[in-house]
Amino acid sequence: MNNIISYAHIKNNSVSINGTPVFSSEKNATLPEFLSEAYKSMEISYPKFHKMDLQCKLGFLCTEFALQNTAFISENDLTKTAIVISNSASSLQTDKLHQHSIDDKTNYFPSPAVFVYTLPNISIGELAIRHKVTGENAFFVSKKFDAHLLVNYTELVLHDNASSAICGWVEVDDTAYEAFIFLVETKNNTNKNTIFKPLNQLVVTQIYNQT
Amino acid sequence: MVFASYNNIISGLGFSTDENYNAILNSELAVKKTILPFSIETFCVAKIDETLLKNRFSSIENTDYYTKLEQLSILSIQDVMAQSGVNPADEKTLLIYSTTKGNIDLLEKNNFSAIDKNRIYLWSFANVLQQHFNFKHTPVVLSNACISGLLAIIIAKRYIESGAYNNVIVCGGDILSEFTLSGFKSFNALSNEPSKPFDTNRVGINLGEAVSTILITNNKELAKPYEAQIISGFSANDANHISGPSRTGDGLFQCLNQLNVTNKTDIGFISAHGTATPFNDEMESIAIERAELSGVPVNSLKGYYGHTLGAAGVLETILSLESLKNQTLIKSEGFESLGVSGKISVIDSFEKKSFQSFIKTASGFGGCNAAALFSKI
Amino acid sequence: MDALIEKLKGQIIEQLNLAEVKPEEINPDSPLFGDGLGLDSIDALELIVLLEKHYGIKIEDPKDGKTIFQSLRTMAEYIKANGKS
């Protein structure tokens, strides 16, 4: 039985965990400002955070929020924890930064620290490093949040080579951003802080649309 | 059973799998020292002939309305559809597209005036392919760095085993662009000479462009080209660094260890990732030794094609299937003397050999790794 | 030299996104890599870009970075000896 044990949603400069609002910034705060405030609110020290591009920061924070008050990391075999993430814009915002650094031949300074983030799955790598998760990876690109794609593939990977999964949507585009992360386990978790919702397309669509 | 079936490779060495396989048997290299339009520097890269592409594509559609990657992908997929007779409109047929950068050339200023800039979005690019072939389902787009191609094949296998699809067309492609060249150059990862995977004197990669397509199917009749199946395939993350591979080969070892190899002597060779960067090749050798596969010969095809990014896993799997069919080990081009610390034996000449199966591996930025085991039925 | 070292501290913190590091915490003679600032291989490449962008110094062989980037002081000395500004 595959269960969703926790989820977090970040959009419009606010964060909710399992449908309950837990943090917000002013509506007109920019994305970098919001991310910085959200990071501070978590009271963690993870210097690598400041090196990440916006998409990785967003995915990192949303996952931290989803994991809060769960025993997901301590109770699961992390070699069998899959990370399945998707979005619409791939790494387009960082792609534009890199392109900008090479457009002008008289001011030509491509930066390795920017270029490395021009792959969307680097956000998966950042989560893997943060939590020492070494299981299956997949980064999909779809026009919109696609519950069917995510749920269907997560089920397949849980069937084949994983016992838990970090899944979701981490999107940063020109005008909008959004992250939605849900944690899935196959075993029956006894932790009282977690929720239990069966992993299926209907449930994921519901909790995604909830806030 | 899940079979590896009809396929196509478009690269600097030809527009079909046959042309490509015959070219490498003749030790032809797609990588060449080239002056590219955007730079006065010489790069050692693998390019597809643009006149040839234009001639071929203009017999199908107007080249003005399609980007280079779209043209290449349409030609490649069309070849596989024609060979296999698979119906794209069928409920049980899916297209998976594997790419790192898609239509990245659309980001350059003043490029492609007749083309909607929105096709920079990978899903929008895939939509062009869906429309052209009339695929019933929205294509699945996978962008997982340099393991994308191999991971797409593994995902195709999972889809078929679940019963969701009978035929999955896996297409992988990336073009050569100033975008990726400048980035890898800033990483000091480029070699100015044809790359030398696993060699003492390896200094870095060559970038290449290619599009490759393979049909993955459960239809035994379509298994004809190779009579080969995908036994197992997995991915794993090093959880170590976003660009540097694990010094101990952790992720790749984890993949190899899971493959469930019952008889090592059946395995003819390992088609490694072998990019020819000092750290990647070193990591692979350590993972192969840790997985107790030191006795299995290893090659890398990057010496012929350079690193073709999203196409690499598909292209290298196809040529490995040719190797299996012809019972011929492919020489690891550019290799002279072993320059890695893990115990491996690199294939230094073309060689006839009787064998049952092979392993394909891939590793990439973001700490990702993948490995799959293919075998004769 | 001291002024250059102070300037470099700011530039390194900015270029390498060391948001949790204060300039006064960087000892000019401590190793830049290893435990100290937690810099990695990408940071090493970024320092090469920094030298080119701010000081017009091109390091052709990144292996030279090892000696140049030993500490802030070695970096400053290298800039003094080779820089245009």
Q: Is pLDDT above 70 for B331?
A: yes
| Residue C64 pLDDT level (bands cut at 50, 70, 90) | confident
Give A-chain residues touching B187 at CB under 8 angstroms.
Answer: 112, 115-116
B178 shares its domain with B314: no
Domain boundary among the residues B201, B223, B245 is at: B223
Q: Which of A102, A153, A157 sits opposite B182 (nearest CB)?
A: A102
- CATH T-level topology, domain A3-209: Peroxisomal Thiolase; Chain A, domain 1 (3.40.47)
* Model pLDDT, residue B112: 63
B288 shares its domain with B217: no
How many beta carbons lie within 10 A of that of residue B59, not counting itself?
8
Domain assignment of residue B354, given as a range: 228-376
Number of B:C CB contacts under 8 A?
12
Neighbours of chain B (3+ CB pairs under 8 A): A, C
Q: Report the CATH number at residue B332.
A: 3.40.47.10
Exposed, middle or buried by CB within 10 Å (0-12, 13-18, 19+), for B208? buried
Q: Hey, what amino acid is at B229?
A: Q
CB < 8 Å from B in window 39-78 of C: 40-42, 45, 49, 62
Q: Is pLDDT above 60 for C85?
A: no
pLDDT in tens, A153-203: 999 999 999 999 999 999 999 999 999 999 999 976 666 667 889 999 999
- Segment C34-44 shows an average pLDDT of 85
Is B247 touching C (CB cutoff 8 A)? Answer: no
Number of domains in chain B: 2
Q: Tell me the nearest-neighbour CA distance from C53 into chain B, angstroms.
A: 13
The answer to whether C47 and A113 have CB atoms below 8 angstroms apart is no
Query: In chain A, what are the domain boundaries?
Result: 3-209
B302 shares its domain with B250: yes
Q: Tell me the nearest-neighbour CA distance from A35 into chain C, angstroms.
A: 13
Domain boundary among the residues B223, B239, B255 is at: B223
- Segment B158-178 shows an average pLDDT of 98
Which of A78, A85, A105, A134 to mutate against chain B (most B CBs within 10 Å)?
Answer: A134
Domain boundary among the residues B204, B223, B242 is at: B223
pLDDT in tens, B212-221: 999 999 999 9
pLDDT in tens, A20-47: 999 999 999 999 999 999 999 999 999 9
Return the DSSP state at A70: -
Contact A121 B144 (CB under 8 A): yes
* Model pLDDT, residue B39: 84
pLDDT in tens, B332-357: 999 999 999 999 999 999 999 999 99
CB < 8 Å from B in window 168-207 of A: none
Q: Which of C40, C41, C45 sits opposite B186 (nearest CB)?
A: C45
* Model pLDDT, residue B110: 67
Beta bridge partners of A9: A16, A180
* Model pLDDT, residue B113: 75
Closest CA to B354 of B321, B328, B336, B316: B328
Question: Is the alpha carbon torsion for B139, B142, B143, B145 positive or negative?
Answer: negative
Q: Which residue has the tokens 């007779």?
A: B85
- At B9 the three-state DSSP class reads strand
Give A-chain residues touching C20 at CB under 8 angstroms.
Answer: 45, 47, 50
- Segment B151-155 shows an average pLDDT of 98
* Model pLDDT, residue C83: 77
Nearest CA in chain B to C46: B186
Task: Between C67 and A11, name the one with better pLDDT.
Answer: A11
Contact B123 A133 (CB under 8 A): no
Lowest mean pLDDT among A101-110, A152-161, A191-200, C74-83: A191-200
The answer to whether B255 and B275 have CB atoms below 8 angstroms apart is no
- Distance between CA A203 and CA B125 in Å, rounded? 30
Is A116 touching C (CB cutoff 8 A)? Answer: yes
- Segment A108-126 shows an average pLDDT of 97
Architecture per CATH, C2-82? Orthogonal Bundle (1.10)
Closest CA to B334 of B208, B204, B203, B195: B195
- Torsions phi, psi of B304, nearest 5? -90, -45
- Segment B49-75 shows an average pLDDT of 96
Question: Is the alpha carbon torsion for B216, B222, B223, B226 positive or negative?
Answer: negative
